[in-house]
Structure 1
C-alpha cells in the first residue's frame, strides 16, 4: 500500500465522524483518550530516548480506543497549524492527510459550508 492510499483510507475512515459536533469529539477524547489518562512518576519511560514523531505516535497511541476521534478533532481545530502527535499520526502525516480530508462538509457547527 502506498503512503497516498494509506492516507486516503484514513480520510475515508474519518468520514463517519462528520456529523459529530466538535465539542462532543473533544469530550470523548478527553474522557477516553489513553494519553489523557497515562500518568508517570517523574519522566515518562521514553524521556531519555530520542524518538521520531512516528515512533512516539506509535508508542503513545497504541491501544487507544479513540484514535479516529482524536485525529478528527485535531484536523478540525488546528488544520495546517497542527503540531505534535494526535490520533496516532505525527504532524507530517496529518499535514499530508489534509489534502484527502473533507474541507467542505455537513458538520453541525460548520453549517455545511467550506472552511
Structure 2
C-alpha cells in the first residue's frame, strides 16, 4: 500500500501549485486499474453501474440522474480530496476508495478526513 500513499500524496502536493477550480480523473500508466479522482471547488456526482462494472462521473448531477435514475449520488466525492480507486476491486470493496489525501490549495482550509475508506456506493 505504500506505493498508493506515495502516488496520492505526490499528486496532492503537486496540485498545490494550481490556481482556480478543477475536478479531474486520471490514471498512472504503471497502474492502469487505479483511478485518481481530484475535486477542488467544483461539483462531482458519481454513479456505479453494476451491470457494466463502471464508475460514471459527471459535474452535472441532473445528467446522471436523468440517465440512471435515483441511484445517482450527488456531491458524494469529498471536497478538497485526492482519492484513489482500484477498478479491479469495485465489486469486492463495495466501491470504496483505497486511499485518500487532503488537497491543500493556498487560500483553502483543507478538510482532513479520517483514514477510513470513502464510499461512493448508494445506501
Same fold by TM (over 0.5)?
no
TM-score relative to the length of structure 1: 0.31
Greater RCO structure (CA 8 Å; 6+ sep) = 1
TM-score using structure 2 length: 0.30
